[in-house]
């Protein structure tokens, strides 16, 4: 049995009971203040044959004699208080072990393994050291990106970016909890480690040139940090000009580029009936897929309209509903009868060169604009990627660069009613089949299809206070009830629970600093700075 070394300053107590599914119970040693114990903190357990690494999921007060709760003793005498604290009452922790590490050389080389047993009775429990954390989460290298620090520790927690881009992933949290900052960190990690190229549908123009922190202070976006490796596309040239953002391309979408499938996803947003959606396909067959929208919007003559409605057997109320919906699209200046350039081709040209594309929407924060553009461009880009991948497989050529597509307000694309029909639902289920994955950001994960949520490889979750949101995020996760407690105790800002494919175990972190000159230097190290590009230090870091 493990000897009890009360001289170890990191020692907390001993294991007294527990199970593999619910975790182990730990009796705190006399002198260890229960008030110093924090849910989410890391501990190690020294079993007879192996070490266990886990997290505190519950803190409780216990008493040997239940009568003490009814008739509390007089503790005005410090000596009596100390005696009682060491014998009659005590603190207890519940610890959920996640990983084990054997003591023999083979086990050490294999690294941490998923836990399949529990430590023996009276095994010693200690606070995890920085070395323990590094052993589990690794240190920064070509694939490991520093994402934050454990609670009450200064050591780094790293995310395996190569694993991260292998599957679709999600960032969740209620409004104001720091989802944007976390997403910006993840995009920097992908870019810094060159694990993939990113296409970001930036609804609120926060990722490209600059954004704001919670105090309203400006912070640098990806373009300022990585200059020639990031391109800013914009739907709103006027907004970009006012914000003094140098854009690489102004996106215009022609009526002839809009297909019926692009409108189908907008049914709820534009208040279209099911009959109106079916009428779109009839119009496309009548006028051709490249002319149906322009012909519809150009219809002015009442007699011509009646003839068309009669010919296609469309009810008059259905036609009026469809016409109102399509007139709503006419108010977007980026929609034109014929675009001067092909936006999909331009985006792919940048992605093929390894340049990350951020599409800013400027003042067009309308959901109709966001859903239309994101869906239209993603459908076509995914088609091109599928063709490239199939050609590469058939002709033994180099595969296209992995692509991560970032979408905000993801539930509008991935709700149970639409996810099976949308390109985003298809990508989430494909598990990187064509080298394309999603990074979904949302404050209402309960509105996302459970099947899609279950396919996400890594989830990064800030504070959620809705029971349904919490349950949906933790769908299919081992130790769900314990993680619910941890998730509910997160602070409102700069804390997140990470679990899934890119980390060896669930981890609560305080997110890495973003916004200081020192943080900018760390993001763009000399090894990763653009070759041949001279950086003006005061301008970049100031």
User: What angle, rounded to 10 degrees, do the helices at 367-395 and 316-330 form?
Assistant: 90
CA 1 to chain centre: 43
Q: What is the pLDDT of residue 532?
A: 37
Asked whether residue 1 carries a pLDDT value surpassing 50, the answer given is no
Mean pLDDT, the chain, rounded, equals: 87
Of residues 389 and 525, the one with the higher pLDDT is 389
User: How many other CB atoms sit within 10 Å of the CB of residue 306?
Assistant: 12
Tell me the pLDDT tens digit for each residue of 470-486: 999 998 787 788 888 88
d(CA 17, CA 25): 5
Degrees to nearest 5, angle at CA 470 with 52 and 100: 10
E-only strand ranges, 351-466: 356-360, 403-407, 436-442, 458-461
Of residues 10 and 438, the one with the higher pLDDT is 438
Asked whether residue 539 carries a pLDDT value surpassing 70, the answer given is no
- Domains of the chain in start order, with CATH, are 11-128 (no CATH), 170-252+340-529 (3.40.50.300), 262-330 (no CATH)
At 3, is the pLDDT very low, low, confident or very high (cuts 50, 70, 90)? very low
User: Which token pair is 86?
Assistant: 């060491």
Question: Which residue is associated with the tokens 């081709």?
Answer: 345
Asked whether residue 104 carries a pLDDT value surpassing 80, the answer given is no
Asked whether residue 404 carries a pLDDT value surpassing 90, the answer given is yes
Asked whether residue 2 carries a pLDDT value surpassing 70, the answer given is no
Tell me the pLDDT tens digit for each residue of 153-205: 889 999 999 999 999 999 999 988 889 999 999 999 999 999 999 999 999 99
Across 326-335, average pLDDT: 91
CA-based nearest residue to 458, from 163, 200, 195, 196: 163
Least confident of 215-219, 245-249, 436-440: 215-219
Across 45-70, average pLDDT: 86
- Residues whose CB is less than 8 angstroms from the CB of residue 463 and which lie 6 or more positions away in sequence, other chains included: 173, 174, 177, 487, 490, 491, 492, 495
Q: In what order do the strands lie in the sheet with 436-442?
A: 157-160, 144-150, 507-511, 495-500, 458-461, 169-172, 436-442, 403-407, 197-202, 356-360, 230-234, 249-250
């Amino acid at each position: 049995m493990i000897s009890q070394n009360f001289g170890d300053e990191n020692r907390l107590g001993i294991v007294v009971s527990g199970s593999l599914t619910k975790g182990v119970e730990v009796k705190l040693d006399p002198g260890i203040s229960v008030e110093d114990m924090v849910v989410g903190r890391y501990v190690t357990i020294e079993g007879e044959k192996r070490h266990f690494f886990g997290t505190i999921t519950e803190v409780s007060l216990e008493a040997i004699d239940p009568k003490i709760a009814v008739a509390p003793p007089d503790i005005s005498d410090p000596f009596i208080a100390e005696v009682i604290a060491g014998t009659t009452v005590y603190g207890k922790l519940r610890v959920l072990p996640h990983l084990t590490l054997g003591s023999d050389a083979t086990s050490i080389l294999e690294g941490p393994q998923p836990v399949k047993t529990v430590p023996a009775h009276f095994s010693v429990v200690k606070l995890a050291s920085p070395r323990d954390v590094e052993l589990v989460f690794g240190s920064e290298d070509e694939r490991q990106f520093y994402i934050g620090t454990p609670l009450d520790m200064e050591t780094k927690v790293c995310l395996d970016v190569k694993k991260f881009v292998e599957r679709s992933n999600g960032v969740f949290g209620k409004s104001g909890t720091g989802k944007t900052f976390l997403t910006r960190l993840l995009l920097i990690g992908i870019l810094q480690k060159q694990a993939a190229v990113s296409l970001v549908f930036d609804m609120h123009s926060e990722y490209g040139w600059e954004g704001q922190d919670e105090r309203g202070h400006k912070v640098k976006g990806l373009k300022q940090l990585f200059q020639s490796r990031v391109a800013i596309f914009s739907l709103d040239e006027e907004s970009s000009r006012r914000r003094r953002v140098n854009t690489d391309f102004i996106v215009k979408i022609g009526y002839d580029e809009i297909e019926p499938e692009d409108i189908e996803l907008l049914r709820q947003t534009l208040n279209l009936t099911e009959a109106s959606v079916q009428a779109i396909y009839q119009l496309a067959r009548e006028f051709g897929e490249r002319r149906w929208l322009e012909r519809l919007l150009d219809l002015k003559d009442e007699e011509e309209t009646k003839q068309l409605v009669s010919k296609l057997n469309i009810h008059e109320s259905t036609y009026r509903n469809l016409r109102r919906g399509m007139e709503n699209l006419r108010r977007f200046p980026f929609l034109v009868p014929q675009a001067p350039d092909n936006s999909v081709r331009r985006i792919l040209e940048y992605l093929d060169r390894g340049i990350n594309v951020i599409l800013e929407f400027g003042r067009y924060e309308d959901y109709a604009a966001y859903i239309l553009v994101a869906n239209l461009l993603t459908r076509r880009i995914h088609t091109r990627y599928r063709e490239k991948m199939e050609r590469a497989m058939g002709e033994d050529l180099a595969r296209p660069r992995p692509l991560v597509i970032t979408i905000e307000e993801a539930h509008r694309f991935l709700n149970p009613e639409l996810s099976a029909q949308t390109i985003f639902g298809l990508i989430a289920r494909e598990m990187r089949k064509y080298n394309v994955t999603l990074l979904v950001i949302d404050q209402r994960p309960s509105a996302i299809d459970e099947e899609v949520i279950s396919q996400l490889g890594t989830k990064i979750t800030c504070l959620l206070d809705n029971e349904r949101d919490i349950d949906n995020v933790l769908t299919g996760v081992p130790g769900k009830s314990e993680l619910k407690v941890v998730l509910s105790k997160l602070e409102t800002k700069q804390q997140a629970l990470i679990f899934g494919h890119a980390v060896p175990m669930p981890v609560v972190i305080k997110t890495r600093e973003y916004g200081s000159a020192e943080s900018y230097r760390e993001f763009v190290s000399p090894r990763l700075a653009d070759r041949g590009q001279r950086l003006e230090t005061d301008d970049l870091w100031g």
